[in-house]
Structure formats: structure tokens, C-alpha cells
Amino acid sequence: MGTIDDPSDTEVLEESFLSWIDVLILLSVLGIAVYWLFLRKKKESGDSNNIRTFSIEPALLRAVSETGFISKLKSSGRNIVIFYGSQTGTAEEFAARIAKDAGRYGMKAMVSDPEECEMEELTKLSEIDRSLAVFCMATYGEGDPTDNAQEFYQWLQEGAAELAGLRYAVFGLGNKTYEHYNAMGIFVDKKLEEMGATRICEPGMGDDDANIEEDFITWKDKFWASVCEYFNIEKSGEDISVRQYQLIVHTDLPENKIFTGEVARLNSFKTQKPPFDAKNPYLAPVKINRELYKGSRSCMHVELNIANSKIRYESGDHVAVYPTNNPKLVEQLGKLLNVDLDTVISLKNLDEDSSKKYPFPCPCSYRTALLHYIDITSPPRTHVLKEIAEYTTDEEEKQKLKLMGSSSEDGKNLYLEWVVHNCRSIIHILEDLSTARPPLDHLLELLPKLQARYYSISSSPKMYPDSIHLTAVLIEYDTPTGRINHGVATSWLKTKTVDNGNCPTVPIYVRRSQFRLPSKPQTPVIMIGPGTGLAPFRGFIQERHCQKKEDKPVGEMILYFGCRKKSEDFMYEDELQQYVESGTLTKYYLAFSRDQPQKVYVTHLLRQNKEEVWDVIGEKNGHIYVCGDARNMARDVHNIILEVIQEKGGKSRQEAEAYLKRMESQRRYSADVWS
């Protein structure tokens, strides 16, 4: 453990640099814009026009490393490079775990962000003895890459490079509830093979709807077995814990050098400067936070003030919210581990070649790290349990943790039951295993980062240019161990109420989506959005209402909305009624699933109206939108639309599928779904 008191030793971003950095950034943005608009040759493949329902576009600048990854590998004596395509950190975490394992096989690995690399260099990887490239790739939307893998994806689509001699393995991260399951992992694997590379292990496919952790550790074992076979090597080292970061305790840092929850730039919450994006969120004052439900559940209608922020949005965009963990849970964790939470620390990467110097903004206090940067409520992954075992004195507890941290069948089953099914967080684990007491700094290194939560914006900028509305259901559930778990973001948003004119703030940025109304206001639309799936359609309706007031010819708007009980969770009932009366909303179909003995869903009503659906999509060239539950509802709607095209459009199943695919690529069928 080291001590640093001199602020100049820390690598925080200083306010004073901003003026010339701003200029540099502006010039870079201009340069990139010119390059994209005029110089870049786009070789698009046949399906490149496919609709992207989930594209995440924070305006971040690309920071290609000065030295390529090949020279880095060579100069540091490494032979494995692991790339990740990650939006919410899982693929990145998996990549780091593979890298950590490499030492046990006498190999040395490096984790790299494809966005920061010239991926053409893959053609040169075979220059390094026993070299290997691993790709941990997550899929989003309609089989789309993550933001940081967009350019790599395009490069692969072009397929111009010759990759003979490159050895590779792919682990895809996906979720079976989505139509394009693991499409990115599958694409990368196939494309690399087509470009001449050698697959040394069958691709792994992680399913986040089931147990992606189990999929990963099962694949990881197979992967290392293949590596051993391919290179004729054996596992050399023991499973010893290797720390990635060094703890540094600061004793005399001035307050203005210590992060207090900022996402990237020190003091950015004190001096807010546009443009606002994922790395520079805007502290939006809450104007209104009101309850939409009447029963036992809670759903919040939140209005965020964006006046003077220069933030622009469109109906259908998402707002990303950076939440804070519950301070009571943070205190509880501090007590369990007997730590003074006000201690100011940095965790410094021991790997000097890594582009990531710290796991989260440092220096900060333990309290700040636990409140703002670290996920302390999700069930911890198996490698965390394995590491905690080393700090457990009771032999029975130690063996239990070791078993769950292993990839044996018994271990996987115990982990699934004891941690996942019982919804145990790290706090619950430390409560239930009284001798497991890891140092907090090691835990901070192991636990995943706290992620921003996304919400479909439920307003239109035409009606509300100065505010963004969101509609969020409070997550609260009983666990099998008798505890009550609370959703991080929604339980925190619940506390953000306006009190005596005091408006609390919420760090946000807007993420552009492709979920858009047709460009012509007269095009008819069908919107299917049960529960919070109604959110973006509230924005759509407002948008058309404003257009109508401007005397624009506005097309039919048909809404399918469903909730449990009319008297409890029929959100925005009065507003919808008014839009029907004013003629903006042509009609709505309502499915109150629990108001009668048998379930009635939006999908039942849609099935009853096949004639009308075909009239809109087949005769009038209209658009269909689906929002909300990805698990069942979106898939059911998709199948019903296929039936409509077959039955009312007189097409075969195959023709109907092609018809729907075409609708998707023309953005006439769009889904904005989550699970």
C-alpha cells in the first residue's frame, strides 16, 4: 500500500486545461465530421440499411492509441489480445477475466477496446509467437454491435483484409428474448473465418436471460483446453489471486482534487459545461415527480428541466440516468468490512501498459466509490466468490465460496441456487457468511461498475422543448431469503421529489435512438405499448398533436395499451382520453389483464383486428411500433403481424417473413424493447 499526498502525483483532469482542450476537441469534432461526411468511402453490404432500434450514440471522441496494439504486445512480451464489444460492461469484465487467467497457462494477455485500436493490425498478429486474438462481443438492437465495436463491425463487413495466420476465439454475449440472438458474436466468428483466420475454439454464446455467468465459465474452460491443445502447453500456475490494482491511501489531498461522483471530469458537477454526453452528464433539476398508479405498485412520472442545457432530443430517444446507490446499503457494507468510508483512496493499475489507469474516477473516498461507481446490489459473479474465499476463516464457509467459484457442476448449481435464485447481493453474502471479510479495496476491484439506466423519453420536444419526461416503474421485490430488494435507479428516483421549490438534480444524457415517427405526418401508425411501453408513444402522440395544431395533415394513430387493472395502473388515462377527443389519437384498444377471470392482453386485441392492421400496413403503407417487454410481448406481436401478412395479404409464410424484414429495413416496423 502506498501513500500519495502530493496532488500532482494524481492523474486527475484539471480545470485549467480546459480552454485549449476545448479548442482541440472542437477541431477534432470538425475533422471527424468532415471525414465522415465527405471522405469516408462507405462500402455497405446488402442489409446495411437494416433498422437499428437500439443504437447508443453518446458523443464521445475516439481515442485511438498512439502506438498500435501490436507494438504494445511486442514491447510488453504478450501474446494474447482480448477485444471487447461492450455497452454495459459485461463483455469488458469477461475479457479482463480471460486476461487474468492467461498467466496460469504461461501466457500474457492484454485487454483492448476495439474503438481505441487500428483493427487492421490484426493482419500482423501472427508475427508474434503463439499469438491469439479473443473477442468478447455483445449484441444490441437488431443484431447490432455496441458503440465501441461499430467501426470494427464495418471493417469486418468490408472484409477486405487477409487474416491468414490469425488465430482467434469468440465469446458472444446476448439474450435469447431478443430476435437477433447473439448476432454480433456469430457475425464476428463467421467473418473472421471467411477472412482466412483460424478458429481455435468453438464460439461461446452467453444468454443473459438465463445465466450468462455459467455460459461464460463453461466456455472459458473449453477455451483454455483448446488453447492448451493447440499450442501444446499445460496449465502451469496455481489458481492464486492476482491483484490488478494497487491501493493508494491519500491523507492530505485538497477537496477540489477528489472526485465526488463525477463520471469523468473532476468537478464537472460544480462547473457544468455543454455538450453533455455519457462522460459529461447534465445535472437536470427535477421539476415534477408524481405518482401514476393507484394500487400497491408505483410508477413515476418525472419531468427533468433541460432549459439552458443546450440538450436537444427527439420523440423516441432514450434518457440515460446515472443513479446513486442507497446510502444505507453503503453504510452497511462499510460496517460489515469495518472500514472508515471517508478514507480517500486511488486504485492504480499495476499494468502500466493498460490504457485504463484506474477502475473508476480516482482519487475518491470509499463512500463515493460505493455510492456512485460500483454495483453493490446485483448478484456477484463466480470469480468474486472465488476471491472472497481467500479472506474467509471458517472452513465450511470458505469451501462453499470456493465451490461456487469453481466451474464444476456442483459449484454451478450451488451458485445458481444460493446466489442467483436467492437474489443475494454482496451485502447479503457477507451477512450470511460471517467470516468472509475481504478488504474493501479488493472488492472495489472485483465488483462491476454501476451502470446508467435508460428510459424511453415520454415527451415530445415540440410540446416540451425545455423538459424531458420519463415514466418509470419502481422495482421492489421480496427475495426467497426474506429480504426486500429495491431497484437502484428507481428507488433513488423515488426520493427525488420537489420540496418547497427545491429541485433535486439527476445526472442525465440523451441517447439517440432510431425509434422515430414516419417523416410524413400523414402516414398512419399503430403503436403497441403495454405498461411502461406506453412511454415513447406519449411523446409520439404529443408530437402529432402539435403538428395537427400547426394545421399539418396528420395520419391515423392507433394505440394498443394494456395494464393490470383499469382502476390501478391505467397511466395517463385522462391525457389519452383528451387526445381521442381532439382527434389526434384516432382510437385506442385497452387490455386490462386482471379485470376479468381470463387474461386479456394487447396481443389478444391485435389478433382480433387483423383486417384493420392490414389496412394500415398493407394498404396505406403505415408503420408499426412495439415498445416494452422483450421477453414475451414483442415476440408475440411479431408473430401476429406475420399472421396478418399471411392471412390478409395473401402471402405464404416465407413471403410474409420477407415482407416483415422489408418493413423492418424500411423502418416501418420498429421495436424498442427491454427485458
Ligand X SMILES: NC(=O)c1ccc[n+]([C@@H]2O[C@H](COP(=O)([O-])OP(=O)(O)OC[C@H]3O[C@@H](n4cnc5c(N)ncnc54)[C@H](OP(=O)(O)O)[C@@H]3O)[C@@H](O)[C@H]2O)c1
Ligand Y SMILES: Cc1cc2nc3c(=O)[nH]c(=O)nc-3n(C[C@H](O)[C@H](O)[C@H](O)COP(=O)(O)OP(=O)(O)OC[C@H]3O[C@@H](n4cnc5c(N)ncnc54)[C@H](O)[C@@H]3O)c2cc1C
Binding residue ranges for FMN? 86-91, 138-141, 173-182, 208
Residue 674 catalytic?
Answer: yes
175 binds, among ligand FMN, ligand X, ligand Y, none (CB under 5 to 8 A by kind): ligand FMN
Chosen residue from 102, 472, 571, 640 binding ligand Y by CB under 6 A: 472
Judge whether 424 and 334 are in contact, CB under 8 Å. Answer: no
181 binds, among ligand Y, ligand X, ligand FMN, none (CB under 5 to 8 A by kind): ligand FMN
Judge whether 226 and 201 are in contact, CB under 8 Å. Answer: yes
Closest Cα partner for 47 from 658, 672, 670? 658
Q: Where are the beta strands (DSSP E) in 236-384?
A: 245-250, 282-291, 299-305, 318-321, 344-349, 364-365
- The three-state DSSP-derived secondary structure of 79-138 is CEEEEEECCCCHHHHHHHHHHHHHHHHCCCEEEECHHHCCHHHHHHHHHCCCCEEEEEEE
- Counting runs of H as helices and runs of E as strands, what totals does the chain give? 21, 23
Q: Least Å distance between CB 444 and ligand X?
A: 24
Element (H, E) at 648: helix 633-649
Q: Least Å distance between CB 288 and ligand Y?
A: 16
Closest Cα partner for 96 from 209, 245, 230, 311? 245
x/- track of binding to ligand X for residues 320-339 (CB under 6 A): --------------------
Is residue 203 left, alpha or beta, with left meaning phi > 0 and alpha meaning psi from -120 to 50?
Answer: beta
User: Distance of CA 214 to CAs 36, 171, 400, 416, Å?
Assistant: 41, 13, 17, 9
Query: Which of 456, 458, 460, 513 does the annotation list as catalytic?
Result: 456
What part of residues 574-633 is at the interface with ligand X (CB under 6 A)? Answer: 593-594, 599, 601-603, 628-629, 631-633
What part of residues 498-537 is at the interface with ligand X (CB under 6 A)? Answer: 530-532
Q: Least Å distance between CB 318 and ligand Y?
A: 5
Residue 342 catalytic?
Answer: no
Three-state secondary-structure class, residue 610? helix
397 binds, among ligand X, ligand FMN, ligand Y, none (CB under 5 to 8 A by kind): none
Chosen residue from 7, 68, 89, 518 binding ligand FMN by CB under 6 A: 89
Q: ω into residue 275 within 30 of 0, thus cis?
A: yes
User: Distance of CA 645 to CAs 292, 568, 639, 663, Å?
Assistant: 37, 35, 10, 11
Q: Least Å distance between CB 471 and ligand Y?
A: 5
180 binds, among ligand Y, ligand FMN, ligand X, none (CB under 5 to 8 A by kind): ligand FMN
178: contact with ligand Y by CB under 6 A: no
What part of residues 22-41 is at the interface with ligand FMN (CB under 6 A)? Answer: none
Closest Cα partner for 371 from 392, 391, 398, 342? 342
Nearer to ligand FMN, 140 or 601 (CB): 140
Q: Least Å distance between CB 36 and ligand X?
A: 34
674: contact with ligand FMN by CB under 6 A: yes
What part of residues 469-488 is at the interface with ligand X (CB under 6 A)? Answer: 473, 475, 487
x/- track of binding to ligand Y for residues 433-462 (CB under 6 A): --------------------xxxx------
C-alpha cell recorded at residue 367: 463512500
Chosen residue from 535, 576, 624, 645 binding ligand Y by CB under 6 A: 535
Q: Which stretch binds ligand FMN (CB under 6 A): 136-144, 455-463, 532-540, 546-554?
A: 136-144
Is residue 541 left, alpha or beta, with left meaning phi > 0 and alpha meaning psi from -120 to 50?
Answer: alpha
User: Distance of CA 444 to CAs 17, 216, 426, Å?
Assistant: 30, 22, 11
x/- track of binding to ligand X for residues 534-563 (CB under 6 A): ----------------------------xx
Catalytic sites, residue numbers = 456, 627, 672, 674
